[in-house]
Amino acid sequence: MSPPRQRWGRSSDGLIWIFQHEFEGRLSDHIEASRQRSSTVNAGVEPARSAQPPASQKQSGVGFFAGRFAGRTAVITGGASGLGLLTAERIVQEGGKVSLWDINAAALNVAAQKVGGAHTHKVHVGRHPDVADAAQKSLEALGKIDVLVNCAGITGATVPVQDFPVDNWLQVMDVNLNGIFYCCREIVPAMLGQGYGRIVNIASVAGKEGNPKASAYSASKAGVIGFTKSLGKELATSGVLVNCITPATFESPILDQLPQSQIDYMRSRIPMGRLGHAEECAALVCWLASEECSFSTAATFDISGGRTTY
């Protein structure tokens, strides 16, 4: 039996359990299982056929690109779990070094053991002094910062606007939007000094469409998209590229903050009939964070199972 759901900011074995059990095995196995779950929830959905893994998985079971991040360093916020941790693992396995930032010290300790050689720093990204200190410490530990992946985020309350707690609204904005501004403000100068950088911000389809009873989250993610466009254009000729991704709902610890009814609503909006998997997002993030991404900046990359195609 699975452990009880946990809330953001609490140290728990639940978060570790979610990561270990959600992301063990082949991605194609998770996709097939997700399709089968969806077919039991959504009446009338055609039963899923067997998913065929891509060629890279057939060859190695993983799909990593050896040496893609050789000599590169990355700071990853929200790096102790979910998409942040998976991205860190890929970067390290592909030759890079990482500094993991997270508010959860216990989860950071577990992540550091999982990602060999990772530098870690406990950070509240919604507090500028915390971010400034972490940026300096990470620069000293890594020697340089080539990549910044802004994964840290919270959902906030799931209530109508008239009932939304003001303090919770401000908390969501501090973490989801101000936090990205603080991180970019402190790390961009190092990237400009070396003439190279890749910044990937995690937005959401909610920032494009807006989700009912999720006004703070939707507004903050719309702000991330706008901020990405602005900063990307500012830095377009500098060698520092800035892009964001807009995932639909995917399996991750952040779902612990939402009622099941909200998760079911978001699944129903996805034409592919399932939630995404963090491995799929990590693959896109790692491309955007690499030298392979060379002529895209200030852009928004959709990964929503067909929900938002603009």
Name the residues annotated as catalytic: 217
What ranges in the chain are assigned the alpha helix state H? 13-22, 27-41, 55-60, 82-93, 105-114, 128-142, 166-173, 179-194, 206-209, 215-234, 260-268, 278-288
Single out the residue of 302, 217, 309 nearest to residue 262, CA to CA: 217
Distance CA 30, CA 34 (A): 6
Distance CA 219, CA 230 (A): 17
Q: Six-digit token pair at 57? A: 């998985």
Single out the residue of 23, 49, 26, 24 nearest to residue 36, CA to CA: 49
Distance CA 48, CA 59 (A): 24
Report the residue count for the chain.
310
Helix, coil or strand: residue 41: helix
Distance CA 91, CA 191 (A): 18
* 78 phi-psi bin (left φ>0, alpha ψ -120 to 50, beta other): left
Q: Six-digit token pair at 281? A: 């997002």
Distance CA 200, CA 191 (A): 14
Distance CA 271, CA 284 (A): 20
